[in-house]
Amino acid sequence: MVMHAPGLAPILSPGQFVNVAVPGDPSHITRIPLSFAGTDPKAQTIEIVYAVVGEGTARLSRMGEGDASTVLGPCGKGWRLDDVSGPALLVAGGVGAPPVLAAARGLLARGIPFDVVLGAQTAGKLWGVGLAKSLGAGRVVVTTDDGTAGIKGFTTVAVEQMQGERDYADVLTCGPQPMMAGVARLALADGSSCQVSMERMMTCGFGACNTCNVAMAAGGYKACCTDGPVFDAREVAW
């Protein structure tokens, strides 16, 4: 989905998210938090790629050209791209691809070299391979759980192989939590810094409802929607 969002598109940073009100059901009082794959500040547009997983996203998928609603943003804290020295390894699993490829756009603008690993359950659920290549990734490696595309296995299989071929200063990852835990473990063991974009049920999107807590390694919790969704991997209690 491409949304025309005057005023918002130019101020979004990679890794942040937007909170979208989906019309069609007045009983659905909460917005849907969605990451974005990219923005076009000149055209004032935001590109969102999402999976239809429930009634709200099903209604979202039925919106057509010219339909209107409201969106709140920028929400959350995104990738700390100014801290990335490169080369960087970007690792995405499933619907974690959009924020990772938003990071790729930011690294491209900064002239920082990067490689990309994209994983999915099957070839039919892969997204972003062509985009990653067009954004100047040095290598784009694909993994699928069932082996229908690329390497058969999890993204961590590809990460280990690529670590043996190149020294990465930074790793950025988004996807299912078990996947990110594995990527973070490999990154930190290899001496790379590691940023993780956590996925939680962010009901309100601004820190009021306490439904998106992320357990911290030092004890206590932080809110995914306001303290994250991007965290240093060392902060998180995996």
Cα gap 108→99, rounded to integer Å: 14
Annotated binding site for FAD: 56-57
Residue 23: strand pairing partners: none
SS3 content of the chain, % helix, strand, coil (to 5): 25, 25, 45
Contact 149, 171 (CB under 8 A): no
Cα gap 161→138, rounded to integer Å: 15
Q: Residue 111: which residues within 8 A CB-CB, separation 6 or more? A: none
Q: Is beta strand 140-144 parallel, antiparallel or unpaired with respect to 151-152?
A: parallel
Annotated binding site: 56-57, 204, 209, 212, 225
Cα gap 95→227, rounded to integer Å: 21
Annotated binding site for [2Fe-2S] cluster: 204, 209, 212, 225
The two tokens of residue 11 are: 């101020």
